[in-house]
Amino acid sequence: MRLHDLKPASGSKHRRKRIGRGPGSGRGGHTSTRGQKGQGSRSGSSTRPGFEGGQLPLARRLPKRGFNNKRFATVYIPVNLDSLNQFEDGARVDEAQLRKVGLVNGRGDGVKILARGKLEKKLAVCAATFSASARAAIEEKGGTCEVATRASAAASGK
């Protein structure tokens, strides 16, 4: 097979609908697929998303109640123990170090250390929070767990 033998799968390419090109086009000569009369047949007509032809739209029919805490929720960026093995033995690992090596990306309210995998080095880990089993695993290896406050996280380049 060569480059000139390549072609798209049959049925994957379609011609553009040429609307308003007369009765011979097969696309409704005088109405141009817009139907007879009404709002949608007029020029310049378009309806907003969710419009239901004058019927009360679904978004307005459903009750809106209660409080949603999603805007105010604390979002931690997870980091697993096995990924901390790339640091030197005895190193201090904080959010800035994790971002530098690419283990933490994006925005969040800090880093949470989770206990997936096995830690093989003694580390001083500074994070916003730890799972109980991750804390136990770090301290079992002789390392320390330091809880970072928002001020110290901001100072470390968050």
pLDDT at site 100: 94
pLDDT at site 127: 96
Residue 118 CB contacts under 8 Å (≥ 6 apart), including other chains? 81, 82, 137
Mean pLDDT of 10-28: 86
Topology of the domain covering 76-155: Ribosomal Protein L15; Chain: K; domain 2 (3.100.10)
Tally the C-alpha atoms within 13 A of residue 37's C-alpha that lie toward its C-beta: 0
- The tokens for 77 are 């960026």
pLDDT at site 38: 86
Q: What is the pTM of this model?
A: 0.56
Lowest mean pLDDT, pick from 67-81, 113-127, 142-156: 142-156
- 123 and 91 Cβ atoms separated by less than 8 Å: yes
Q: Alpha-carbon distance 151 to 58, whole Å?
A: 45
Domain ranges of the chain: 19-49, 76-155
* Nearest alpha carbon to residue 50 among 58, 42, 39, 38: 58
